[in-house]
Structure 1
């Protein structure tokens, strides 16, 4: 799908003229196919003011109200409920008891809510889990994720993965991540909840001290905040941002401040969140990292930083 088309196949310049709230709503209602850049016009979680967000993150947990799913107009981009992606089969088993087709075995449903399910990652251990929406959502490229109607899956992942959470990641440092379309194995959206190395945590804190981590999303795409971070295969380059909460919509921030200004493809982005820890205690800050192969040494995958095994 061309990046030069938006809702209803409009050329970019025509689309920009319609990106007020009313125009975006009208385009969403009549859309047949969508590009990732189009969703920047949709309402998003929170305000556009600087962090911290003055809003309350969407409710989550067993008593939470079910979140709306992507509308039919977006199913060509976000997936159809009848799709047979293996991870989507697992979600349906956890949410409504539909058995997966043979030879796929039924998963362990570690937590099931109206908004999401938590499953084991591979390999199965106490620091490798997946959070998947209960809606059919293919991945990072689905524009619905950037709208205010979508659940705040990043905050849900953190609330589960943190020490004392419902499905805690048993590792000294925690990382959350989403792979790009070309790097992932399954096409149901899944946030990896895993460990990160102590050296990764230290590197991020050193970069913050050195002024190499953006303090506002508007700075996120500046080359000064494109920094090398050592992972499992040496240094890779990431755009580094720090936020004081996960109340804002990270998908929308990525599209608004990185993807659209640089004319990139949302589908080819990886997004990683590393909670800042000081002496083993959460320091009320989150490092948010994005990367893709358009930047020197960049990557489309979160797998170099997260520890699964």
Structure 2
């Protein structure tokens, strides 16, 4: 689903009881302080797999509890009426969406997340959504150690050989800011990126123009322009060897808080590094917002949906 048009919040809807997980008080204290694989080579193999109701190997990160009740004002209420939340409820609990919203195709289901088609519906446009009620990137719970590692799971799902492979020469994973998205259930886009984006990122890497550790991510020296569907936009670029760490937490700790920014305004795009032989064992993590010159708060300029 292309979020590029800025739309106001749609109301949302019900699901999952919140967990009063151990350590919630500590997590809330931190949250309050913040408020003010082998992949991508286009594989002609593999249609989308049938829904998988069995849990896979637990992802790195948390065990998948939902945001605590005290964060529902920011992270969404179980009684909310957002279309994507209706889709999640249908796939997890069989609750039929209200008319005229159609029933979604539940392409993959696990205890922690589901996978759906994006719009337009192509073989390189999918969405990964938490099975818990989480509005989006602004939810403070995402930067704690509690949630599953949704980025890692998106890559494992979308890569060549994954359960719902993105069939495009290069893969991109992305999330929009609160103001740039159309729907208000957290969703990571699993889509294509242009070959020119891949080349540009490898060129910047060879020039040493990107961070190689999270602590360098917010340094203006690691900002660079990348051309997308709306011309050149500037991104903060970090190279990581894997997606084992919580990217939301890394962004908050190393970029947002040191610069007195808001998580709600951030976009993130993950581009696996590819060579002629396939996945090169590294990921480019791009972040931007409108606080930087020629910055953007949407991932839609770099991702290819149709």
Superposition TM-score tier, normalisation by shorter sequence: 0.7 to 0.9
Measure the CA separation in 2 of the matches of 1:216 and 1:174. 22
Partner of 1:55: none
Describe the superposition over 1:241-265 as per-residue Cα deviations: whole angstroms up to 9, x where unpaired: 0000100010000000000010001
Shift of 1:26: 3.7
Gap change, CA 1:166 and 1:201, over 3 Å in 2: same
Gap change, CA 1:143 and 1:205, over 3 Å in 2: same
Shift of 1:233: 1.1
Partner of 2:196: 199
Tell whether the 8 Å contact from 2:24 to 2:68 is kept in structure 1 after alignment: no
Aligned mate of 1:120, from 82, 101, 117? 117
Partner of 1:263: 260
Measure the CA separation in 1 of the matches of 2:72 and 2:298. 24
TM-score w.r.t. the length of structure 2 is: 0.83
Partner of 2:55: 62
Tell whether the 8 Å contact from 1:64 to 1:113 is kept in structure 2 after alignment: no
Shift of 1:213: 1.1
Measure the CA separation in 2 of the matches of 1:36 and 1:119. 34
Q: Secondary structure at the match of 2:85?
A: helix
State whether structure 2 residue 104 is matched by structure 1 residue 131: no
Measure the CA separation in 1 of the matches of 2:151 and 2:223. 22
Describe the superposition over 1:19-62 as per-residue Cα deviations: whole angstroms up to 9, x where unpaired: xxxxx85465689xx557269xxxxxxxxxxxxxxxxxxxx972
Measure the CA separation in 2 of the matches of 1:202 and 1:260. 31
Tell whether the 8 Å contact from 1:36 to 1:265 is kept in structure 2 after alignment: no
Measure the CA separation in 1 of the matches of 2:87 and 2:24. 33
By relative contact order (CA 8 Å, sep 6+), the higher-ranking structure is 2
**Equivalent residue pairs, number:** 264
Gap change, CA 1:276 and 1:71, over 3 Å in 2: same
Partner of 1:239: 236
Q: Secondary structure at the match of 2:290?
A: coil
Aligned mate of 1:111, from 108, 111, 122? 108
Tell whether the 8 Å contact from 1:36 to 1:143 is kept in structure 2 after alignment: no
Q: Secondary structure at the match of 1:123?
A: coil
Gap change, CA 1:88 and 1:64, over 3 Å in 2: farther
Moved segments of 4+, more than 6 Å: none
Measure the CA separation in 2 of the matches of 1:29 and 1:261. 20
C-alpha RMSD of matched pairs (Å):
2.0
Partner of 2:14: none
TM-score w.r.t. the length of structure 1 is: 0.82
Aligned mate of 1:169, from 166, 171, 195? 166
Gap change, CA 1:206 and 1:29, over 3 Å in 2: closer
Measure the CA separation in 1 of the matches of 2:286 and 2:196. 16
Partner of 1:272: 269
